[in-house]
Chains A and B, each alone.
Chain A
């Protein structure tokens, strides 16, 4: 499945773009499958994956959440507001 991914904070540097398209080798992948594909494609992301969170729209989603073709997965690296 081809998934649109939006990168925030330092994940832009780890993945080399603000937005990208990710080809995930599964018909109905989960967020965890997307994370695995990102880790295989971007070594700098792989080093940080334990500290990541993910969102769809205004909701945080778990690694077991199933993705659909029109979703945009948002990468939320460690936050530093204030």
Chain B
């Protein structure tokens, strides 16, 4: 199953049939914001090191599912996005809402530290810069 897509994530493509044992579906979608540290942002180019990013996203889905007893789906955009487009999608389905809320938060927080993806912001004045992120964490095995 592919976790990286070219261009924005189309959320509606992933909102399929909910498994019958589930009573809750929590959706987190990260979007491109128009302001960062006081600078006007027009878009973001998402770069990924695909072999490791795909592996880490798969591992994080499995880890989240096991840890919270839910179904988890992660999808991340690559390439050029403009303000308002969806860059990342976290879906968690489970029997009750509490574990799906917790699973969503865990998955997005962990993704930000463990998956080799980089934001290159495009500014209104034509300049661009990579966002200073977090050193790659080895929370997940591999």
Interface membership of chain A positions 43-79, coded 1 if the CB is closer than 8 angstroms to chain B and 0 otherwise: 0000000011101011110000000000000101111
- At the interface, yes or no: B126 with Cβ under 8 Å from chain A? no
- At the interface, yes or no: B88 with Cβ under 8 Å from chain A? yes
Chain A residues with CB under 8 Å of B134's CB are 78-80
Give CA–CA (A38, B125) in the complex, Å: 33
Q: Are A81 and B136 in contact (CB under 8 A)?
A: no
How far, in Å, is B92 (CB) from chain A's closest CB?
A: 16
Chain B residues with CB under 8 Å of A76's CB are 49, 52, 116, 136
If A8-B47, A9-B130, A55-B52 touch, whether A60 touches B118 (CB-CB below 8 Å) is no
Give CA–CA (A46, B51) in the complex, Å: 26
Q: Are A81 and B76 in contact (CB under 8 A)?
A: yes
| Shortest Cβ distance from A75 into B: residue | B49
Q: Would you call the interface of chain A mostly helix, strand, loop, or mixed?
A: loop
How far, in Å, is A49 (CB) from chain B's closest CB?
A: 11
Question: Contacting A78 at CB < 8 Å: which of B47, B120, B135?
Answer: B135
How far, in Å, is B50 (CB) from chain A's closest CB?
A: 9
Q: Add 18 more A-B contacts to A60-B52, A79-B114, A81-B53 (CB < 8 A).
A: A8-B118, A9-B130, A53-B136, A58-B52, A59-B142, A60-B136, A74-B49, A76-B52, A77-B130, A78-B135, A79-B118, A79-B135, A81-B115, A81-B116, A81-B117, A81-B118, A82-B117, A82-B119
**22 A-B residue pairings within 8 Å (CB atoms):** A8-B118, A9-B118, A9-B133, A10-B118, A10-B130, A13-B130, A55-B52, A57-B52, A58-B52, A58-B55, A59-B52, A76-B52, A79-B115, A79-B134, A80-B112, A80-B132, A80-B133, A81-B76, A82-B88, A82-B108, A82-B112, A82-B117
Top-6 shortest CB links A-B: A81-B117, A80-B133, A9-B118, A53-B136, A78-B133, A58-B51
Chain B residues near A (Cβ < 8 Å): 30, 46-49, 51-55, 76, 87-88, 108, 111-120, 130-136, 138, 142
